A and B are shown apart, each in its own frame.
Chain A
Amino acid sequence: MNMKWLEDWFESIEPKGKWSWLGSTYEAFHTFAFTPKTVTKSGSHIRDAVDMKRSIIIVVIALIPALLFGMWNIGHQWSVASGQLSVSWLYEWWFGFLRMLPLIVVSYAVGLFIEFAFAQYRHHEVNEGYLATGLLIPMIVPVTTPLWQVALAVAFAVIIGKEVFGGSGMNFLNPALVARAFLFFAYPTHMSGDKVWIAADLWGSDAIAGATPMGELAAGSHPSASALDMLIGTIPGSTCETSVIAIALGAFLLLFTGIASWRIMLSVFLGGGAMGLLFNAIGANAYMELPFYYHFLMGGFAFGAVFMATDPVTAAQTNSGKWIYGLLIGAFAVLLRVCNPAYPEGMMLSILFMNCMAPLIDHCVVSRNIKRRERRIAR
């Protein structure tokens, strides 16, 4: 494909003189269209083809199965709950698509505007990290979340969660979960309960009553959905977190390409499973007696394990640290679910808590390496 005309066009509009302050914005669009022609100056003369844009786009692609299924499930939950059983699956998907689109547009518009503004202000290049975060945020909120709340949460997450620390790569909390936590604590009535998960109509934030499996468990009853329903994801819940199968497709891509750490993903499930088995052994109430694998299928456990816990910036950075980090996320998530009914979803808080602990874990792991070296000198 000959794109010479576009190369020339970009070179001709490069901001100079009084417009040079627009450099970051120009650079963002230019590198979006073309990988730069920069050549190596020092060090290795040849470089791997992978860069930050490619790595982040893999995360976005990995989210697509869950996103597409989530859109269908929004429409499906609506048609079942409102008794409109005659609508086709295609219309259900279209319904969900129209419900999701504003959430995604608002998230990207607000988030990218702030990212560009900060990059421009600091004369930095615009970082790609938000391309993944901006899609993650609408995927983990209830479908009826008002758009202004999404906008506010995004602004809070990008500014307080990320930019005050220096931008992508410098933050210690996962920005998408910061947005979710902001909504959870600022507008609890919109984030939990029975009347938020199923959209009542195409527009507006009215909801039809319908409890998530974890809502039912917190209320003391057994989940009405079967394990198979939960595995496929035809249950009420946050927009795109319900289908474990769709999430598994994304997980496969992340693991194959090496973008996400298999150590973290595996250890989150191991930690959650171990905690679940422990509760099975105690068996003091209905929640504790729940088969341990139900925890993997319900709520945001799978989504969190695959897409949130593996965020490399906020996770532990050493290989042994990743095992500890993942095991504790899984264990704490199940512990919170079972023992603290005030917070039906333990995954979000568990990951945010371990985000805070990750530097400490790394410090301990690296200290052992330092001790080993000191002992060698002493010998």
Chain B
Amino acid sequence: MVKIKTTKGLDIPLGGVAERFVVDMRGVKRYAVKPTDCVGFTPRLLVAEGDTVIAGQPLVQDKRDERLFLPSPVSGTVEAIVRGEKRRLLEVVVSLTPSSSPHRRGEQNAEANHSPLLTGEGSGVRLSPVWWMIKERPFGTIANPDHKPKGIFISMRDTNPLAPDLEFALKGREQEFEAGVKALEAFAPVHCVKVEGPHPAGNIGTIVAAIDPINKGEYVWSVNAQDVANIGRWCLTGEYRPERVIAVGGPAAKCPKYYRVICGACMQFISEVQMMNPDYPCLNNQNVPNNPTTQTRIISGSPLSGTTIAADGFLGMYDQQVCFIEEGDKYDFMGWLMPGLKKFSFSKTFLSGLLRPLLSLRSLEPLETLKTLTPSYNFNTNMHGSVRPFLFTGSFERVFPFDIYPLQLIKACIVGDVELQEKLGIYEVEPEDFALCEFIDPSKTEIQTIIREALEVLRKEAIS
């Protein structure tokens, strides 16, 4: 395992860290596959409502590259096919059949306890159901089996706020993890990296930038450490059972804990448990829309870059945490002038930025009583300001551990100057690498959206 240390970044002191106790939730009834979580994946449905499917059976395939598919996480029946605007496919919902065994023995099992990640060659390649877990940079798509990556990167530490402790999550799966690494080594050198330092130290982008930055025309692959174990399980036993231990927490979570789930599991039960507090009733009941003070947002993935899901929604394809945060749709009287003891800011422009460093000094014993009186940070989903042009400079660099000029790259993306974006290193980044820049930005610019849109233009140019 490689060790790297970074200093630039910020650990946001978000409350509601998951207690180190795993609740087994593998018995959840409903599961969903979400093609929208896969960048550049144009789904073609392979099943219809009511069909019986087995775990690992393709549910949707990519129209552009028919070898890529998203498999059913469990064996059961296709319960619903959810479409959004313009009939865009959002979710394929599979409900577990209680009678059938939930998992499938791989067909390749005959082959001496070893199932390969892919069989065949060239255009005749057949991919295994675990293939979608391998992501490719630049662009963050599912790995293209034709590409030769210059390395496969696995982050051994998730530094996102409230993210699961991967060592804890992988306990008992060491053998599977090693088998997964071995299987991946067939494609490129595998780097398991443990990074020390504040977020975004554990992001794949940070790791790749520190070890071997991506140049134009190069590819690197990355796999979530828990998915490496899933790949390992597939290789060892031929069984497709995509399991993850997820951290459930957040300031509005009632009892933050770890849960062991199958990928794509419905969050309804977990949401109900976490929002039992009468202050935070369930979001999906439409009878309280005009009561904004009591709504909770449920985020699948990091609070810095995850997706909002409904209380009966499903875990995202690549997510390993769920976060509960109070909706902040409240006015703040003279917010720009108030001392702001409960407000968190990277900039120290609020009194909290002055008091907290003082209070953390051990030698100041008389402040002990004051310490207990100081309220904890009040995090919610409020923007805390209106959108403005970029005025202030120099703060992005403090949370951006790349050899890239972040403001200049963002501006190049806003004006759509593709050539300049390439020169400034757009291929080395993903939107999530800019999440902290977006968080601290006093101009409230939607930086991750800007980067995603710029990358999409480049990706479409690359495949056309």
Which A residues lie at the B interface, using CB under 8 A? 1, 3, 6-7, 27, 31-40, 42-55, 57-58, 125, 127-129, 167-170, 256-259, 261, 263, 312-313, 315, 317-319, 322, 362, 366, 369-370, 372-374, 376-377
Please encode chain B, from 377 to 416, with 1 for each CB lying within 8 Å of some chain A CB and 0 for all others: 0011111111111111111010000011101100000000
What residue of chain B has the Cβ atom nearest to residue A10's Cβ? B331
Name the segment of B67-75, B270-278, B282-290, B348-356 touching the other chain. Answer: B348-356
How close is A200's CB to chain B, nearest CB, in angstroms?
38
Interface contact B384-A35, CB-CB below 8 Å: yes
CA–CA, A38 and B444, complex, Å: 11
How close is A128's CB to chain B, nearest CB, in angstroms?
8
Residues of A within 8 A of B418 (CB): none
How close is A364's CB to chain B, nearest CB, in angstroms?
12
CA–CA, A49 and B385, complex, Å: 8
Residues of A within 8 A of B447 (CB): 43
Interface contact B405-A369, CB-CB below 8 Å: yes
Interface contact A44-B395, CB-CB below 8 Å: no
Interface contact B331-A7, CB-CB below 8 Å: yes
Name the segment of B101-109, B123-131, B228-236, B322-330 touching the other chain. Answer: B322-330
> Which has the most chain B C-beta neighbours within 10 Å: A6, A54, A128, A317?
A54
> Which has the most chain B C-beta neighbours within 10 Å: A27, A57, A258, A374?
A258
Residue B145 is within 8 A (CB to CB) of chain A in the complex = no
Residues of A within 8 A of B423 (CB): 370, 373-374
Interface contact A312-B393, CB-CB below 8 Å: yes
Interface contact B407-A44, CB-CB below 8 Å: no
5 A-B contacts, Cβ less than 8 Å apart?
Answer: A46-B303, A46-B304, A46-B439, A50-B385, A55-B392
Please encode chain B, from 433 to 449, with 1 for each CB lying within 8 Å of some chain A CB and 0 for all others: 00100111111101111
If A49-B384, A257-B349 touch, whether A55 touches B391 (CB-CB below 8 Å) is yes
How close is B85's CB to chain A, nearest CB, in angstroms?
16
Residue B149 is within 8 A (CB to CB) of chain A in the complex = no
Interface contact B404-A369, CB-CB below 8 Å: yes
What residue of chain A has the Cβ atom nearest to residue B346's Cβ? A48
Contact of B391 among A38, A313, A374 (CB under 8 A): A313
Interface contact B333-A34, CB-CB below 8 Å: yes
**Beta-carbon contacts under 8 Å, B12-47 to A:** 12, 14
Interface contact A39-B327, CB-CB below 8 Å: yes
What residue of chain B has the Cβ atom nearest to residue A255's Cβ? B348
- Chain B interface category by residue count: 35 or more
Closest 3 CB pairs of A and B: A51-B385, A35-B335, A169-B389
Interface contact A36-B353, CB-CB below 8 Å: no
Residue B9 is within 8 A (CB to CB) of chain A in the complex = no
Interface contact A51-B442, CB-CB below 8 Å: yes
Residues of A within 8 A of B323 (CB): 45
**Beta-carbon contacts under 8 Å, B285-310 to A:** 292, 297, 299, 303-306, 308
Extra inter-chain contacts (9) besides given A35-B384, A258-B347, A313-B391, CB under 8 Å: A37-B330, A46-B381, A52-B385, A53-B336, A53-B385, A54-B349, A55-B347, A128-B388, A315-B393
What residue of chain A has the Cβ atom nearest to residue B390's Cβ? A169
Residue B88 is within 8 A (CB to CB) of chain A in the complex = no
CA–CA, A234 and B405, complex, Å: 44
Interface contact B393-A317, CB-CB below 8 Å: yes
Contact of B383 among A40, A57, A319 (CB under 8 A): A40
Interface contact B440-A39, CB-CB below 8 Å: no
How close is A123's CB to chain B, nearest CB, in angstroms?
14
Residues of A within 8 A of B449 (CB): 42-43
Residue B258 is within 8 A (CB to CB) of chain A in the complex = no
Name the segment of B48-56, B190-198, B337-345 touching the other chain. Answer: B337-345
Residues of A within 8 A of B306 (CB): 45
If A34-B334, A37-B331 touch, whether A370 touches B344 (CB-CB below 8 Å) is no
Interface contact A37-B424, CB-CB below 8 Å: no
Contact of A49 among B345, B381, B389 (CB under 8 A): B345
CA–CA, A259 and B380, complex, Å: 24
Interface contact B438-A43, CB-CB below 8 Å: yes
If A37-B328, A170-B389, A322-B394 touch, whether A43 touches B333 (CB-CB below 8 Å) is no
How close is A174's CB to chain B, nearest CB, in angstroms?
13
CA–CA, A167 and B391, complex, Å: 11
Residues of B within 8 A of A48 (CB): 344-347, 384, 439-442
If A322-B394, A369-B404, A369-B405 touch, whether A34 touches B348 (CB-CB below 8 Å) is no
Interface contact B442-A258, CB-CB below 8 Å: no
Interface contact A259-B439, CB-CB below 8 Å: no
Interface contact B331-A52, CB-CB below 8 Å: no
Residues of B within 8 A of A37 (CB): 292, 328-332, 382
What residue of chain A has the Cβ atom nearest to residue B434's Cβ? A43
What residue of chain A has the Cβ atom nearest to residue B14's Cβ? A46
Interface contact B383-A36, CB-CB below 8 Å: yes
Interface contact A54-B336, CB-CB below 8 Å: yes
Interface contact A40-B393, CB-CB below 8 Å: no
